[in-house]
Amino acid sequence: MAFKAVFYPWFGYKATGSEQFKDCAGALILSNHQSMLDPLLLPLQFTRPVTYLARSTLFQKKFLGAFLRKVYVVPIDRDSARAGSLREMQRRLDHGFVVGIFPEGTRSTDGKMGPLKPGFLAILRRAKVPVFPAGIAGANLALPRGKIMLRPCRVRVVIGKPIMPEEIEAFGRKQDDELIELVRSRIAACADAAEAWRLGGPAPTGPIKKNSPIRELLRSRKT
């Protein structure tokens, strides 16, 4: 409620796609990463918590560490990245949690989506739950990298139609690159739709596709 009281008026925050989680048990969300605000902005319209991974060093800070534990964040470091932390994320998916991951691994420096790091594939292939691509637009302007003060700026979040487990299972172990490209294209389509919406286009409806009119609007606004 506190974040809504700030983000809705300050950012003119709007999101679409969160209604898909109403009757959904476990689910995985894969999103682009623009700002430190992203873990708060992505599920703002949800009525259930979202579990994230965060660097274990953040938990060493007294108040921040206590807050992260309260909101179901799981610590991760190099030694446990493929063991304890991922097992805990899988356990939460099995128990019906919504788990959020930013596959780029770090925040964008210019708001544009970067390459995806393959580490997320370990949990993607084991999840056996719907995988929702998501796009955030405007967060990099609301809180630029290296800044601590919020700036008034439109922020939009678009959550696309899920990639179902059987679609993921169709990719063999030697097709990691193709699977990464599928996920990246779905996230990029949502991010483009969110940016076009932020720039004044209509709220996206239906499946978000790479060649949608929203993408054309985005290109025309940039030119």
pLDDT tens by residue, 189-198 = 999 999 999 9
Report pTM: 0.87
pLDDT per position as a tens digit, 122-176 = 999 998 999 999 999 999 999 988 888 999 999 999 999 999 999 999 999 899 9
Q: 137 phi and psi, to 5 degrees?
A: -135, 135
DSSP secondary structure letter of residue 12? -
pLDDT of amino acid 223: 46
Residues of the chain with pLDDT > 90, as a percent, come to 50
CB atoms within 10 A of CB 179: 20
Fold adopted by 2-222:
Glycerol-3-phosphate (1)-acyltransferase (3.40.1130)
Mean pLDDT confidence for 87-110: 89
Task: Tell me how far apart the alpha carbons of residues 96 and 113 are, in angstroms, rounded to a whole number.
Answer: 29
* Amino acid present at 65: G
Provide, for the chain, the percentages of residues in helix, strand and coil under a 3-state DSSP scheme, each rounded to the nearest 5.
Answer: 45, 15, 45
Please give the structure tokens belonging to residue 144: 């630029």
Tokens at 173, concatenated: 């172990």
Q: Are 99 and 30 in contact (CB under 8 A)?
A: no
